[in-house]
Structure 1
Amino acid sequence: MLSAFLLLGYLCGSVPFGVLLTRWLRGVDVRDSGSGNIGATNVTRVAGKKLGAVVLLLDAVKGAVPVGLALHWMPGDSLAHALVGLSAVLGHVYPVWLKLKGGKGVATALGVLCVLVPTAALAGAVIYGLVVAKWRVSSVGSLSAAVVAIVTAFLTAHSRDYVLLTAGLFVLMLWTHRSNLQRLARRTEHRL
């Protein structure tokens, strides 16, 4: 049963809502503009705040749904829940439909954490909002939120597997944000 949920998580995560919605509603490919990323931040830059918010919500939902189903069908198996969450985020980062070239995984990770460690998800979202409001740099907000989510998960999670997942997602975000980190070091990072 776990393998079916891992596949479901990956396939849900791999749905490229940013690409699909900007193409359908604006007639543009989000990968050709702004930062070239398929996620909500670049959709906001390319197609506006409303569409960016829709993509943020949908990218979070595609992480939450498979994890919620795993919780329902495999109650008590925290490792399975964590692995399904990781597979959803990996689906967003490496979607089969886009030749494994996806997004940063932040919104999908948020959806996963909303189900497994809601306090950590909330704390991360609040920090993201505060950091972006102050400095207008989404990558700084995302990485700051991930650090706060790890600490909060450590303090509040019901399972060590959920804490390890939160830490693993942070490591994955460091990888997906490596070009952002280089631009931050050169002080050339994109602003909202």
Structure 2
Amino acid sequence: MPALLMLLAYLLGAIPFGILLTRMAGAGDLRAIGSGNIGATNVLRTGRKGLAAATLILDGLKGAAAVWLGAWLVPDGGAALGGVLAFIGHCYPAWLRFRGGKGVATMLGVTLALAWPVGLIFAAVWLGMLAATRISSVGGMSAAIAAPLAALLLDRSEVVTALLAMALIVLWRHRANIARLRRGEEPRVGTKRGA
């Protein structure tokens, strides 16, 4: 059962909703727009706010769905395993040559499903830092770092390892953003590049 869960969760996470929605809406290939990323921030660069919101929601829901699937298939530890595998599927989808998204929205969905109070803190930090800086990467990375810390503070030790693993991958996926931040070149939300 764990092997089946890992496969199903990965495949669920690897559904590229950003690409599918922009193609269906006639907005072109998302990978040729802005940063080339498949997530909601880049979808926003198409000028379609509704598509960006839908991408954000669906990327989060697939993470949450994988957690619920994991809890059903493997009651002992399957929830976290399913969530992490969906997150990896989003970041490294096989059919996109392992070039997926940054994972923030999917991590939010996973976190809400694993431990909703931690997920609420994740969302608050993400939105708060985004509002304060208008830099998408700063909001996403701050939220990812906050999640395992919040789990520790709220005595949810059973999810700390999964959240820490995802946070480290989020930071790794943002390494180009970190370099631009250090140079003072990271664009703010509403511009055409970055994220």
The residue identity in structure 2 corresponding to 1:46 is T
Which residue of the partner structure matches residue 91 of structure 1? Answer: 89
SS in 1 for 2:42: helix
Query: 2:55 aligned with 1:55, yes or no?
Result: yes
CA displacement, residues 4-63 of structure 1 (integer Å, 9 cap, x when unaligned): 111111000000000111111033111111111000111012242211110000001111
5+ residue gaps, structure 1, are none
Partners of 1:110 and 1:121 within 8 A in 2: yes
Q: RMSD across aligned C-alpha pairs, in angstroms?
A: 1.3
User: TM-score normalised to the size of structure 2?
Assistant: 0.92
Match of 1:129 among 127, 130, 142: 127
CA displacement, residues 61-120 of structure 1 (integer Å, 9 cap, x when unaligned): 111112112113332x12x32222111011001111211111101111111111112111
Tell me how far apart the structure 2 counterparts of residues 47 and 13 of structure 1 sit (CA, whole Å): 25
Partners of 2:91 and 2:100 within 8 A in 1: yes
User: TM-score normalised to the size of structure 1?
Assistant: 0.94
Aligned residue pairs total: 189
Partners of 1:26 and 1:47 within 8 A in 2: no
Partners of 2:70 and 2:80 within 8 A in 1: no
5+ residue gaps, structure 2, are 190-195
Which residue of the partner structure matches residue 192 of structure 2? Answer: none
Which residue of the partner structure matches residue 181 of structure 1? Answer: 178
| Distance of aligned partners of 1:122 and 1:21 in 2 relative to their CA distance in 1, 3 Å threshold | same
Which residue of the partner structure matches residue 146 of structure 1? Answer: 144
The 4+ residue runs of structure 1 with deviation greater than 6 A are: none
Please state how far the C-alpha of 1:157 moved relative to its aligned partner.
5.0
Tell me how far apart the structure 2 counterparts of residues 141 and 119 of structure 1 sit (CA, whole Å): 18
Tell me how far apart the structure 2 counterparts of residues 68 and 107 of structure 1 sit (CA, whole Å): 17
